[in-house]
Each structure stands twice: as structure tokens, then as C-alpha cells.
């Protein structure tokens, strides 16, 4: 609440940034729970427990990165492979952090900047960058504290459901995770031919890599790392994004 020093009293009814963040985080939390449920179904197939899945999702709140991490765990890959895969797949969050950094008011303490950086996900970045005015840690953490527990809970519930439901149902629900990835990439592919071309090349290269000599002998996590770096680098060189004035 703000009260002016003039005779007329002015009350700011917009609410605190923290409460606004919590409000805006509710629909994200609902979506997170559904996606994380499918991720939990997949994690259950690798013997990951509900507690392990809950903690993993509470600390690694990135669908693609967590899926890659679970895949490496299920295939008993090395810790280094997991680290590199997660760093490569989640590199986009560094770019989002740079973008948000341009909106942080001058003089903001370092610890608040770190808080903002640790709360970045695709959806939280989207609702934050769409707001007018400076970026505040209070708003981001209002949304974060609603959305991320829902993500973690969805993973745990998915793992529990995978232990109870018939295998036929579990197999069907497992396909939902791939549907989520398609829902992420298809809208962008329809708008940008370059993105569509990269997606097609990625699918083809991923399939070919499973039958090529030497390459097919590598773990799936290592193949993902190699393909991600090579294809993204080639796309950046051949079809760079034009800067807008």
C-alpha cells in the first residue's frame, strides 16, 4: 500500500509483486503437474523412487534436462555424461538470464540477481519478460514457489502411479512425455522454416546415429550431446538469426 504525502490519499491496489507472482504461477503449476506426471512415469521405468524423483524435480526444474538426466541414470551412464548433457540441453537458460539481467534495476544486490537467475524456467521467463517495468526477485519467487513444488509433486505422483497402474496404461501414459516435446517444438517450427529444418535434421540424425558404426556404440546421452552441439553450431553458421533494430 502506498500513501501520498498530499492531501489526497492515493492507494495502490495492484498488490505486491510477490502475490502477483503467486497468482500468475497458478496456471503454470497446473501445466507443470501434468507434464511432470508423464516424466514420473518414465522415471519409474528406470527404478527411480518417488522420493528420488521428487527431490530431483525440486532441484532440476527443467523437463528436457531432467529427462536427459533420468535417461543417463536408467542406462547407467557416467556422471560426467549426465553433467555435460544437462549443461548442453539447458544452455538456453543462460541466455534467458542475460535477457532478464537487462531488466534488473541498477544497484540490485548480487544475491537478488542470483535469486532471479535460479528461478528461470521457460514459462517463468515468459511471464516475467512480458511484464512492464523492472524485473524483481519478489515476483519471480512468488511464481517459483507455486510452480516448482507442483512440478516436483507431479513427478512423484507419476512414479507412484507407474507402480500401481497396469503396464498397458503405463505404456500409454509414457507416450504423453513425447507429446509434450512435440507441443513445444511444433508451434515454433510452423512459424520458422529454419527451425523446422533443424528439427527434421535432428530427428533424422538421431535415428541414423543408432545404426552407424562407432557412434551407435556410444550411450544415448553422449549421442544427444554430440548431435546437439553439432547441429546447433551448423544452424548458427548457416542460418544465423537476424538482429532486429
Q: Tell me the C-alpha to C-alpha distance, in Å, between residue 208 and each of 106, 144, 224.
A: 50, 39, 12
Q: Name the CA dihedral angle for 131, 135, 139, 140, rounded to a multiple of 10 degrees.
A: 100
Question: Domain span at residue 232?
Answer: 192-245
Q: Is residue 7 part of a domain?
A: no
Q: Tell me the C-alpha to C-alpha distance, in Å, between residue 218 and each of 43, 58, 64.
A: 21, 30, 20
Neighbours of 76 (CB within 10 A): 8
The predicted pLDDT at position 175 comes to: 67
pLDDT of 100-124, one tens digit each? Answer: 888 888 888 888 888 888 888 888 8
Domain count, the chain: 2
d(CA 74, CA 66): 12
Same domain for 134 and 199: no
Q: How much is the average pLDDT of 178-185?
A: 68
Q: Is residue 11 part of a domain?
A: no
pTM, rounded to two decimals: 0.70
pLDDT of residue 4 exceeding 50: no
**Mean pLDDT, all residues of the chain:** 81
- pLDDT band per the 50, 70, 90 thresholds, residue 8: very low
Amino acid at each position: 500500500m502506498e500513501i501520498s504525502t498530499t492531501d489526497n490519499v492515493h492507494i495502490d491496489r495492484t498488490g505486491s509483486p510477490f502475490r502477483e507472482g503467486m497468482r500468475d504461477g497458478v496456471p503454470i503449476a497446473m501445466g507443470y503437474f501434468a507434464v511432470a506426471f508423464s516424466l514420473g512415469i518414465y522415471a519409474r521405468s528406470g527404478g527411480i523412487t518417488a522420493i528420488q524423483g521428487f527431490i530431483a524435480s525440486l532441484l532440476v526444474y527443467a523437463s528436457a534436462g531432467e529427462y536427459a538426466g533420468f535417461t543417463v541414470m536408467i542406462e547407467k551412464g557416467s556422471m560426467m555424461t549426465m553433467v555435460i548433457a544437462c549443461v548442453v540441453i539447458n544452455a538456453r537458460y543462460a541466455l534467458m538470464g542475460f535477457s532478464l539481467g537487462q531488466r534488473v534495476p541498477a544497484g540490485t544486490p548480487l544475491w537478488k540477481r542470483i535469486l532471479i537467475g535460479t528461478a528461470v524456467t521457460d514459462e517463468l521467463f515468459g511471464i516475467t519478460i512480458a511484464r512492464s517495468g523492472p524485473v524483481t526477485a519478489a515476483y519471480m519467487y512468488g511464481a517459483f514457489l507455486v510452480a516448482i513444488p507442483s512440478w516436483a509433486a507431479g513427478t512423484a505422483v507419476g512414479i507412484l502411479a507407474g507402480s500401481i497402474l497396469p503396464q498397458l496404461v503405463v505404456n500409454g501414459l509414457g507416450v504423453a512425455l513425447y507429446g509434450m516435446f512435440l507441443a513445444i517444438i511444433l508451434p515454433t517450427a510452423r512459424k520458422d522454416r529454419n527451425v523446422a529444418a533443424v528439427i527434421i535434421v535432428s530427428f533424422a540424425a538421431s535415428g541414423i546415429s543408432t545404426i552407424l558404426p562407432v557412434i551407435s556404440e556410444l550411450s544415448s546421452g553422449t549421442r544427444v550431446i554430440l548431435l546437439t552441439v553439432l547441429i546447433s553450431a551448423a544452424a548458427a553458421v548457416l542460418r544465423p538469426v537476424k538482429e532486429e533494430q
